[in-house]
Amino acid sequence: MSDTSTIPVITVDGPSGSGKGTISQILATKLGYHLLDSGALYRLTALSVIKNNLDIDDVDAISKAALELDVVFEPQAEGEQKVLLNGEDVGVQLRLDETSAMASKVAAIPQVREALLIRQKQFRQAPGLVADGRDMGTVVFPDAEHKVFLTASPEIRAERRHKQLIEKGVNANIRHLLKSIIDRDERDRTRTVAPLVPAEGAFVVDSSDLSIDEVVQQILDFIGVSEA
């Protein structure tokens, strides 16, 4: 692999529902950078586990599934991405609550994280990358030029996820979502490998009371880019 260490990376880490996905898409579009939605890789692995009825304790089989994911990310308008797993559009399945819960479980397996590491690093391509995840600034791209950590209260995040699911035509119960967000946070924060913590020197933004535009503007100011 050629030396990619000089290609700029902006890492955007934080819990689900903090607005990372949307903010990262907007940043990537504005800057003309590539986008890595690393959560999608964990969700895809989870989907493989579910579709192939793998046992959650069968670490070898799950790591193999992660390593061999046949996935294509097709960029769409507005920074959106179509995700194809074995040629099948799995956009809706990836967001199902069952997939989210399984993703959090597979993400706690060190061998799965290891299997997805090289694949994630391969997204570092010119002219630059916006990397969205939990450990982008701490583990995957520790040398990133700019690191951002986005947070928001669990209640706000549950509301956002609810709206997102309804828009995608998926039925969702907000109380159930809040509970699964709190449970998932706990697992993500306390796991021994790559726990969800801000990277050293990260710019921390609480998006609870900010609009998307305000968050984007704060990040652009932080990285020193004035809006075109």
Q: How far is the CB of 226 from ligand DC (least distance, A)?
A: 29
By CB under 6 A, tell whether 43 contacts ligand DC. yes
Omega cis (within 30) before 127: yes
Question: Measured between alpha carbons, how far is 125 from 13 in angstroms, rounded to an integer?
Answer: 19
Q: How far is the CB of 228 from ligand DC (least distance, A)?
A: 28
Sign (positive/negative) of CA torsion 111, 197, 96, 219?
negative
3-state secondary structure at position 44 = helix
Q: How far is the CB of 64 from ligand DC (least distance, A)?
A: 18
Strands 146-151 and 129-133: unpaired
By CB under 6 A, tell whether 12 contacts ligand DC. no
Binding span for ligand DC by CB under 6 A among 63-71, 127-135, 174-182, 213-221: 127-135
Question: Measured between alpha carbons, how far is 217 from 124 in angstroms, rounded to an integer?
Answer: 24
Count of positions on this chain that bind ligand DC (CB under 6 A):
13
Q: How far is the CB of 179 from ligand DC (least distance, A)?
A: 15
List the one residue out of 66, 63, 81 whose CA is nearest residue 119.
66
When binding is defined by CB under 6 A, the residue of 9, 11, 16, 124 that contacts ligand DC is 16
Q: How far is the CB of 184 from ligand DC (least distance, A)?
A: 5
Question: Measured between alpha carbons, how far is 46 from 90 in angstroms, rounded to an integer?
Answer: 12
By CB under 6 A, tell whether 45 contacts ligand DC. no
Closest residue to ligand DC in the complex (CB): 39
Instruction: Kindly identify the residues of this chain, within the stretch 75-114, that bind ligand DC according to CB under 6 A.
Output: 103-104, 107
By CB under 6 A, tell whether 42 contacts ligand DC. yes
Instruction: Kindly identify the residues of this chain, within the stretch 19-38, that bind ligand DC according to CB under 6 A.
Output: 38
Close Cβ partners of 96 (under 8 Å, ≥ 6 residues apart)? 170
Q: How far is the CB of 72 from ligand DC (least distance, A)?
A: 18
When binding is defined by CB under 6 A, the residue of 19, 39, 79, 137 that contacts ligand DC is 39
List the one residue out of 107, 149, 128 whose CA is nearest residue 20.
149
Chain centroid offset of residue 30 CA: 19
Of the pair 112, 216, the CB lying nearest ligand DC is at 112
Question: Measured between alpha carbons, how far is 189 from 29 in angstroms, rounded to an integer?
Answer: 30
Binding site for ligand DC (CB under 6 A): 16, 38-39, 42-43, 103-104, 107, 133-135, 184, 188
